[in-house]
A and B are shown apart, each in its own frame.
Chain A
Amino acid sequence: MSKHTVDYNASQDYKTYKLLGAVLVALGGIGVLGAFQADVYRSWHWLLIMFLFLVSIGLGNLFLIALEYLVNANWSTPIRRISESLSGVLVPAAGFALVMLAFGSHKLFHHWIEPPDAIVQGKVSYLNMQFFTVRVILCFGAWLLFRALFLKNSRAQDKDGDQVYTRNNVKYSTVFMLVFAISISVAAMDWIMSLDPHWFSTMFGVYYFAGTLVSAVSVLTLFTIHLREKGYLPGVSRDTYYSLGLMMFAFNTFWAYIAFSQFMLIWYANLPEETLWFIKRWEGGWMYVTCALMIFHFVLPFFLLLSRTVKTIPSFLAFMARWLILAHFLDLYWLVMPNYIPKEGASVFGLVDISFIVLAIGCIMLWFHKECSKANLMPIKDPKLQMGLEFKL
């Protein structure tokens, strides 16, 4: 068995990410400011979409870290640092959450902040600004706390290679999984479902979770492939690419399964208070967005990622990862935007809308670079690293 030499230090050069990230943030920021000048309500909704995307990436990668510890996976150990760095995106996401709480809440959640109607009146004990703020702070507090714990142990292990750090992280992951399951459902209900407070779906948390995983694995794949092709991750093999492609494929199918389950139950029961949410997304131009979501988030990626061979082709896998990232944006757009523009013809993307996507991608790059420079790019003394590098299908 061949031994891979692992020789890293923290000062490796990722200037590309820093420069490109800064340019994207600057461009996106200007675009966003312009968008706020043009249409305040639409811009707040787009900011919410961007925020949810950042949460998807950060929280999804935090979930992948915990999952690796919990199931004792070793194939993903060499690329765990990328997940750890990507989970840093939760920090700007928390910033955007505070901005929205402070300035945008009346633009986004006016349905239940302003004097509520009879139906919302019954939900007021949950849907009120004080409790909402508490929940947001608790969720972000828990996520950032567990992120700090995972990263502290993981980085400390780089110095002496003590196995205690791994065991501690396994314990934290056990608790985190419970916290994660509750907090992501709460976040999905608070930030998306409460935009339309008359409607409810008990599956909604799982739906957002499924989309989160698709986009998190896609971003992880994209960064892994890019760094590997630049030569930063020696020893990461095609078999790891295949596993990442498999996760993309599996979670994308899971997303479709959950999305359809949610739709079919509501469609079958045909209760007015539940169907109105889907009817809104089937009227006028939204019908095309819904069809596009079905085709571009499930049908085409399903068949494109089906073959075993294509999952080991880096360029194709990177292409599919970009595709699924944009598909997740489309998913969030479909979830959030009809609450602002339910009328025909308003579902078209504008140029200013792209600036929010640009800003999100810039944020991810900047924070990825920032976190990456703090530690080695691989957990060099992790006991599972050697097995991960020798991983074969």
Chain B
Amino acid sequence: MSNRKLHSITALFDTPDSIMHAAEAVRDAGYQKFDVNTPYPLHGMDDAMGLKPTLLPFTTLFFGLTGLAIAVGFQWYTSGDSIGAISGTTLGLPYWLERYPLVIGGKPLFSLPAFVPVMFELTVLLAALGTVACLIAIFCKLPANGHPLHDSRYMEATSCDRFGLCIEASDPLFDEAKVKAFLEKLGGKDIELIYEAPKLQISPVSTMGFVTVLAVIAIGASGKTWFIYNIMLYQAPWTWMDIQPKAKPQAEMAYLPSGLAMLPPVPGTVARNFMPYAYSSQPEKAGEMLSNPYPKTSESLAKGKTLYNIHCSVCHGYQASGDGRLKGQFPNPPSLHSEKSKNWNDGQFFHVITEGQNVMSGYAKHISVEDRWHIVNYIRALQRALDAKETDLQ
């Protein structure tokens, strides 16, 4: 026992008040390397011990700002325009450096408001993890996870129902006899001498050998898993239908003339339900050649009215007199009740709906051929309604 180095002298107290006064007295006596162990936190102990503020909050700040920077940088990089598009060259970037300029919800590529939640989360995450990691690794001096005070009667008592104070031998004012007398004078009981362990206690968990064993186990386990799921299970004859002689879309296929698995359509192919328009840019000819295949039944007019109100009324107005809801923001369309319009053939209306005219754009993509004819019928009905003949009244 005596050949081991003295670590500290400890004393036990019975009440929170007595330990508080003892800590104040030890602080005032000029000791610096001393500690207090209590079963629960005592408010005001920091002042009583004269503790200086810890540096731990700065690690929190550092890691928080690091998280913030990573979040901003990562989101800026990944969602930015591709390097090739910016520099106008085709840089051969490795695939894991490729950027993803995806437009989401019509927002700009760099949309700070959308990034803020991620910035917030990563800041909090790294601040918390970094603080805990620093606390354990630096402030608790990680490789050594033992302490001379462990496994002493002193620690047993202070983690149960008593309040302990220990003055360490490394304190410049330390003197074994003096400290003992001082603690007794303060009212400390069960004074105990704590000796250092023969050498620095290092847990078997943090030795190189143990880490090596862990690494070997980890690599072995993941290698085994990889081998089973990628090699072993696919040994012939068990292919699990994974290997099939089929062409996957958008893949290469060398033995086809085009080299593509997906064959491009033959030139001149016409899609189903799609007839090319024969009279492009020829309104007069369309008027001559096209005739309305749909009679003016009430169903046709009702359908035409619905479609007209959706697609046409915005500019032309509900009555087709050129007073739509966008009036004033664009050049007004002419009234469809003019003599010119009345003298048009159905085919000419059909042509304008299909290809547009002046400011109006073509509606071929929005309105099917059949529906265009229904709209033409409804326009005719509107023209007639504003210019009714006497025979209509009968």
Main secondary structure on B side of the interface with A: helix
Residue on B nearest A1 in the bound complex, by CB: B17
Question: Is the pair B61, A306 in contact by a Cβ cutoff of 8 Å?
Answer: yes
Which of A27-35, A210-218, A262-270 touches B?
A262-270
When C-beta atoms are compared, the residue in chain A nearest to B111 turns out to be A267
Q: Find chain A residues with CB under 8 A from B17 CB.
A: 1
Rounded to whole Å, the gap between the CB of A277 and the closest CB of chain B is: 15
Instruction: Determine if B249 is an interface residue (Cβ-Cβ < 8 Å).
Output: no
Q: Is the CB of A264 within 8 A of B57?
A: no
B58's nearest neighbour on chain A, judged by CB, is A307
Within 8 A of B (CB), among A277-336: 306-309
Interface-central residue, B17, B44, B114, B117, by most chain A CB under 10 Å: B44
0/1 per residue, A247-282, Cβ < 8 Å to B? 000000000000010011001101000000000000
A267 x B113 contact (CB < 8 A) = yes
B43, chain A: closest CB distance, angstroms: 4
B198: chain A residues within 8 A (beta carbon): none
Instruction: Known A306-B61, A307-B57, A308-B57; judge A268-B113 contact (CB<8 A).
Output: yes
For residue A164, CB closer than 8 A to chain B, the reply is no
Please report which residues of chain B, range 100-158, place their CB below 8 angstroms from some CB of chain A when the two chains form the complex: 105-106, 113-114, 116-117
Asked if A351 lies at the interface with its beta carbon under 8 angstroms from chain B, I say no
Say yes or no: A392-B113 contact (C-beta < 8 A), given A1-B17, A268-B105, A308-B53.
no
Q: Is A393 an interface residue (CB 8 A)?
A: yes
B279-291 vs A, CB cutoff 8 Å, 1 = contact: the mask equals 0000000000000
In the complex, the number of residue pairs spanning A and B with C-beta atoms less than 8 Å apart equals 26
| Interface check B46, CB cutoff 8 A | yes
**Measured between alpha carbons, how far is A293 from B362 in the docked complex, in Å?**
48
Question: If A268-B113, A309-B53 touch, does A392 touch B47 (CB 8 Å cutoff)?
Answer: yes
Chain B residues with CB under 8 Å of A308's CB are 53, 57
Bound Cα distance A391, B44 (Å): 9
- Interface range on chain B (Cβ under 8 Å from partner): 10 to 19
Interface contact A393-B113, CB-CB below 8 Å: no
Within the complex, the shortest CB–CB distance from A235 to chain B, in Å, comes to 14
* Complex interface: chain B residues within 8 A of A309 (CB): 53
Closest to A257 in B: B120
Contacts of B117 in A (CB 8 A): 264
CA distance A307 to B87 in the complex (A): 45
Q: When the two chains form their complex, are residues A264 and B116 in contact, meaning their CB atoms are under 8 A apart?
A: yes
Contact A263 B61 (CB under 8 A): no
A151 to B80, CA, bound (A): 60
B:202-254 near A, CB below 8 Å? none
Q: Which residues of A contact B114 (CB under 8 A)?
A: 264, 268
A267 to B105, CA, bound (A): 11
Which residues of chain A are within 8 angstroms of B53 by Cβ–Cβ distance?
Answer: 308-309
- In the assembled complex, the Cα of A270 lies from the Cα of B107 at a distance in Å of 10
Q: Please give me the residue from chain B that is nearest to A264 by CB atom.
A: B113
- Shortest Cβ distance from residue A317 to the other chain B in the assembled complex, whole angstroms: 17
Which of B46, B61, B106 touches A393 (beta carbons < 8 Å)?
A: B46
A282–B43 CA distance with the chains assembled, in angstroms: 49
Q: Can you list 10 residue pairs at the A/B interface with Cβ under 8 Å?
A: A1-B17, A260-B113, A264-B114, A267-B113, A268-B113, A268-B114, A270-B105, A392-B44, A392-B47, A393-B46
For the complex of A and B, list the 6 residue pairs with the smallest distance between their C-beta atoms, beginning with the closest: A392-B44, A392-B43, A267-B113, A264-B113, A309-B53, A393-B43
Binding site for A on B (CB under 8 A): 17, 43-44, 46-47, 53, 57, 61, 105-106, 113-114, 116-117
- If A263-B113, A308-B53 are given as contacts, then 12 extra A-B residue pairs at C-beta distance below 8 Å, sorted by A number, are A264-B113, A264-B117, A267-B113, A268-B105, A268-B113, A270-B105, A270-B106, A307-B57, A308-B57, A309-B53, A392-B43, A392-B47
Residues of A within 8 A of B (CB): 1, 260, 263-264, 267-268, 270, 306-309, 391-393
